[in-house]
Structure 1
Amino acid sequence: MWAAIAAVLFVGSAVAAPRETRIPEAAIAAAGELRESALASDLGYRITESLTTEVGPRLAGSEADARAVKWAEAKFRELGFDKVWLEPVTFPKWERRSEQAEVLGEHRQPLNLTALGGSPAGKVEGEIVRFADLAALEAAPAGSLKGKIAFIDYRMERAKDGAGYGPGGRVRSRGPSAAIRAGASAYLMRSAGTDSHRNPHTGITRFDDGLTPIPSAALAAPDADQLARLTARGPVRVRVALDCGWDGEATSHNVIGEIRGKSKPEEVVVIGGHLDSWDLGTGAIDDGAGVGLTMAAGKLIGQSKLRPARSIRVIAFANEEQGLYGGKAYALKHDAQVKQHQIGAESDFGAGRIYAYSSSAPAHAQAADKQIAEALAPLGIEHTPGKGGPGPDISPFAARGLAWARLAQDGSDYFDYHHTPDDTLDKIDPKALAQNVAAYAVFAYLAASADGDFGSEAKQVTPPEE
């Protein structure tokens, strides 16, 4: 009897276990040809040049954002994608109009700064109180900064994988609320960046519920240094004048292009970048490059001799910068089709060479994951299982069960330019961008050609942070 029960249990477990996912040898060979053709192509650079030249900066909800949507739709069609469509994304609209600051009194001089996204308008004059880091400001007693301006002088650290952005970004996102709790009338911070140029770094901030927002801005690194030296000499008064703020709602769009799969067209591999940018530069590395290289990867897959079984879906996401609105909207709209999404990856970390690959592939897809890694290895890409997480706009869908992949770019100098006037096309190395195109083309093609899945299923998970 026990043997019979054991046999039934064995059969049941065998039926329930997913079969191993593998990639056919013909697809591996085709991916090798695709890789070489992508390396020899400048298509990704030409697409990025088109976006940053013809549209320029693309602040979410602006007139330029609307032009970027039209540009993306037209570009997908020009590239020959089989299907192109728009999905609306609505969000609060923030505008920047003018900004300036100056040191008052004996050492009167201008300061180079930029309003943080989400800051209200206001003209404030007050004494500067310097804090070395976020923790020091958060420890300030309530009301201790009444009538004063809080200044966090935290210096972000440079790292290949961008690890320094976590602490630097928290100064931007949590600092203003900490300043309000301490009674400050305005908030200044050393920019979350790694450069030493007079280019302040913008970026979105948040105000905790129940707090009245205060003017909040980021200083260029040399200006933060100057202010720190002045405060070391004695009391310093500064005047800050920001004209910016929220102005109703806007609707933009996720712009989507699809290369149809040969035998399983309703199943898709998603790649993409975000179409919006901040308004100081032309949004080349953040994230024109991501849009350009994934469009190019899709185009090259579409013209390959052996079409993959599944469709390649390239998404130019709306309004990532102010709260992942495009990624959230896509996840919500396609929530019922999680399982039809084979895997997803987003390029949103500049245009540096990709040096590592990893994914969320479960045990039954590890063999296929290794096959992808082996096909990427000639590009100088290391397999790093268990490292990293999904890209920003992919993360809302990954939290609903989407399988994800990470193609890690070298971001050693990314935060020299991130969210600054210096985010322009000349910062992109065309050869490095071609390597990115090759990597995304190989990854997407092989994932779409796999015999089996990568573990996407409807479930609530907490994906690791990129």
Structure 2
Amino acid sequence: MQRPALTLIAASLMLANGFAHAADAPTAIPGTAVKTAEQLRDKAMHDDTAYKVVESLTTEVGSRMAGSVNDPRAREWAIAKFKALGFDKVYTEPVTYPLWERHSEHGAIVAPFPQPLTLIALGYSPGTPKDGLTAQVVQFVSLDALKAADPASVKGKIVYIGERMQRHKEGTDYGRIGSPIRVQGPVIAQAKGAAGFLLRSAGTDANSRTPHTGVTGFTDPTKAIPAAALSNPDADQLERVLAYGKPVTVKLDLDCGIVGQYTGYNVIGEITGRKYPDQVVAIGGHLDSWDPGTGAIDDGAGVAIALGAAKLIHDLPQRPDRTVRVIAFANEEMGLWGGRAYADKHAAEVGKFQLGSESDLGAAPVWRMSASVKPQARKAVEQIAKVLAPVGVAYDPKRPGGGGSDLSQMHQKGMAALTLDQDATYYFDWHHTANDTLDKIDPQQLAQNVAVYAVFTYMAAQADGDFGSAPGAFAGDGAGD
């Protein structure tokens, strides 16, 4: 009478072991999918869909600051463009955030040598009093120097930090110098009692009298001070005046600030998967831009790259096995609002995300790929890398992948992710300025980006096995974008 029970136990153990082996089996991409990906790559290099998309966005809509009059125009443009390109499903998801408006900004050195300054207000900066803010300037060589400063040396003054960014292919100085000074500097200055804050623009265009805007770290309007960025030549001029050793007084006149709440929308389009429609490969860019330019490289290009890649996959004779989801995120510029709202809404579904990456570093060629995936999926990433090598992409297996700006939020929830680094040598010449316009995009370089996104998206969609997405799967891997 014991033999049937033993047989059942043995069968259960064999079944359990079978599931375990299946779970541990390496993820691989079938040879037919690799061949199709190579064809996609070659076709993308001669496809102008993405360029037509970004041309349309920057011409028909222009600048798209979150909450501005062009915000709903951009959303309607995106919905129409998704539909025109043949996406099966197009929908929106709400994103609510503080509404910050810019009306005007002026600055001047009052003493000892009166002259105007070219500057631009920073996101979440409050306006100055009706008659402006006039105060003595105190200079710091770095953010660390401000952190170490005696509050008595700062109280009632306008803090100025003039550390200069340099060009790097990796865009290193933006994360090391530019963004931390712009985001953290005003907050630290306010906490020490400063009346205002100025920085040398977070940009690499040394000879252009065009200031770079961007967001600050202010989260409480009652604990915020007027903050602005000087163009690089104006920062040089201020430093020359400061070098005379006399007290330097500056007047700021900023008309800007938070005026309430606003609800915008992420715009999402899908190409439905043939075999696993509830599993998705996520790609995209952010639809909003800063207001001085037309948002071509930041981030009309990213939206266009994702749409161009998805369109090529859509046009294949057979739909991909998994769903391709393109997300045009709302309000990335003022603090990843669209990405955070998306991740909060979809966190419970993270296991259904096969792989993801967002483009948000312009339109110069992708030159490096890195990944955060489970160990059993590394061979599949190597297969993707092999297809991308002919278009100049090198795979660095030691670097984590963060997913890009907005999709970094899904990565933090556990989504397997790539980072596809573009050449950022000149990106920060134009970033967040009036010079962010369509002429900065080279159509052939943009096409290379489309090729990269089409290849990885299709190969991930066709993979036998997954890349390891699960709640908390990549906690602490050090990825960031």
* Normalised-by-shorter TM-score class: over 0.9
Inter-partner Cα distance in structure 2 for 1:324 and 1:104: 37
Q: 2:200 aligns with which of 190, 203, 208?
A: 190
List aligned pairs for 1:418-457, cutoff 5 A. Answer: 418-457=431-470
Residue among 225, 228, 232 paired with 1:214: 225
Distance 1:208 1:268 in 2: 34
**1:243 aligned residue (255, 272, 275):** 255
Q: Distance in 2 between matches of 1:209 and 1:282?
A: 29
Distance 1:20 1:80 in 2: 34
* Alignment-derived partner of residue 363 in structure 1: 375
Contact 2:40 2:454 in 1 (8 A): yes
Does structure 2 conserve the Cα–Cα contact (< 8 Å) formed by 1:58 and 1:68? yes
Q: Deviation of residue 177 (structure 1)?
A: 2.0
Distance in 2 between residues matched to 1:130 and 1:142, nearest whole Å: 13
1:274 aligns with 2:286: yes
- What is the CA distance between 1:210 and its match in structure 2? 9.8
Q: Matches of 2:226 and 2:250 in 1, distance apart?
A: 13
Aligned to 2:480: 465
Q: Is the 8 A contact 2:29 2:464 kept in 1?
A: yes
**SS of residue matched to 1:180:** helix
- Structure 2 distance, partners of 1:392, 1:84, is 22
Asked if 2 retains the 8 angstrom alpha-carbon contact of 1:116 and 1:216, the reply is yes
Q: Are the counterparts in 2 of residues 177 and 211 from structure 1 also a CA contact under 8 Å?
A: no
Change (3 A) 1:29 1:178: same
Q: Which amino acid aligns with 1:189?
A: L
Q: Partner of 2:191 in structure 1?
A: 181
In structure 1, the partner of 2:67 is 61
How does 1:288-327 map onto structure 2 within 5 Å?
288-327=300-339
Shifted more, 101-110 versus 417-426: the winner is 101-110
Cα pair 1:27 1:306 within 8 Å, conserved: no
> Which of 155, 170, 188 is 2:180 aligned to?
170
Shift in Å at residue 13 of structure 1? Answer: 6.7
Q: TM-score, normalised by structure 2?
A: 0.92
Amino acid at match of 2:439: D
C-alpha displacement of 1:126: 1.1
1:137 is the counterpart of 2:146: yes
Alignment partner of 1:124 is 2:124 = no
Runs of 5+ unmatched residues, structure 2: 1-11
Q: CA deviation at 1:105?
A: 3.7
Amino acid corresponding to residue 425 of structure 1 in structure 2: L
> Residue 211 of structure 1: CA displacement?
6.7
- Asked whether the 8 Å contact 1:144–1:183 carries over to 2, the reply is no
Deviation by residue 1:32-66 (Cα, 9 ceiling, x = unmatched): 11111111111111100100111111111111011
Give the 5 Å matches for 1:139-154: 139-154=148-163
CA distance, structure 1, for counterparts of residue 111 and residue 342 of structure 2: 52
- Aligned counterpart for 1:407 among listed residues 420, 426, 448: 420
Aligned pair partner of 1:50 in 32, 35, 56:
56
How far off its partner does 1:157 sit?
Answer: 2.5
Residue of structure 1 equivalent to 2:237: 226
Q: In structure 1, what is the equivalent of residue 26 of structure 2?
A: 20
Comparing 300-309 and 119-128, the one that deviates more: 300-309
Question: What letter matches 1:200 in structure 2?
Answer: P
SS at structure 2 position matched to 1:399: helix
Sort the Cα spacing of 1:385 and 1:207 in 2 relative to 1 into closer, same or farther, 3 A. same
Pairwise CA distance, 1:208: 6.7
CA-based RMSD: 1.9
Q: Distance in 2 between matches of 1:375 and 1:392?
A: 25
Asked whether the equivalents of residues 177 and 208 of structure 1 are also in contact (C-alpha less than 8 Å), the reply is no
Q: Contact 1:92 / 1:246 at 8 angstroms: preserved in 2?
A: yes
Could you tell me how far apart the structure 2 residues matched to 1:416 and 1:160 are?
A: 12
Q: Which residue of 2 aligns with 1:31?
A: 37
One-letter amino acid matched to 2:280: V
State the 1:142 CA deviation.
Answer: 1.7
Q: Secondary structure at the match of 2:439?
A: helix
Find the counterpart in structure 2 of residue 5 from structure 1.
none
**Cα contact 1:298–1:314 (8 A) shared by 2:** yes
Query: Alpha-carbon deviation of 1:183?
Result: 2.3
Partners of 1:208 and 1:137 in 2: CA distance: 20
Q: Report the TM-score, using the length of structure 1 for normalisation.
A: 0.95
* 1:312 shift after superposition: 0.5
Q: Give the gaps of 5 or more residues in structure 1.
A: 1-7
Question: Displacement of 1:408 after TM fit?
Answer: 1.0
CA-to-partner distance for each residue in 1:398-432, whole Å, 9 max, x for gaps? Answer: 11111101111001111111101111110011100
Q: Tell me the amino acid that sits aligned with residue 220 of structure 1.
A: S
Displacement of 1:72 in angstroms is: 0.2
Mapped contact 2:126–2:221 kept (Cα < 8 A):
no
Deviations 1:318-359 (A, max 9, x none): 111111111111111112211111011000011110011121
Tell me, yes or no, if the aligned pair for 2:266 and 2:329 is still in contact at 8 Å: yes
Sort the Cα spacing of 1:77 and 1:300 in 2 relative to 1 into closer, same or farther, 3 A. Answer: same
Is the CA contact 1:285–1:424 (under 8 Å) kept in the aligned structure 2? Answer: yes
Task: Give, as a single letter, the amino acid of the residue that structure 2 aligns with 1:317.
Answer: F
Q: Could you say what secondary structure the match of 1:257 adopts? A: strand
The residue type paired with residue 249 of structure 1 is: Q
Larger mean Cα displacement after TM superposition, 82-91 or 206-215:
206-215
Q: Which amino acid aligns with 1:335?
A: A
Residue in 1 aligned with 2:115?
Answer: 109
Task: State how many pairs are aligned.
Answer: 461
SS at match of 1:334: helix
- Cα shift at 1:182: 2.9
- Which residue of structure 1 lines up, in the alignment, with residue 404 of structure 2? 391
What letter is aligned with 1:151?
Y
Distance 2:230 2:388 in 1: 41
Closer, same or farther in 2 for the Cα pair 1:407/1:449, shift >3 Å? Answer: same
Provide the rounded CA distance (Å) in 2 between the counterparts of 1:118 and 1:83: 35
1:301-324 Cα deviation digits (max 9, x unpaired): 000124320011000001111111
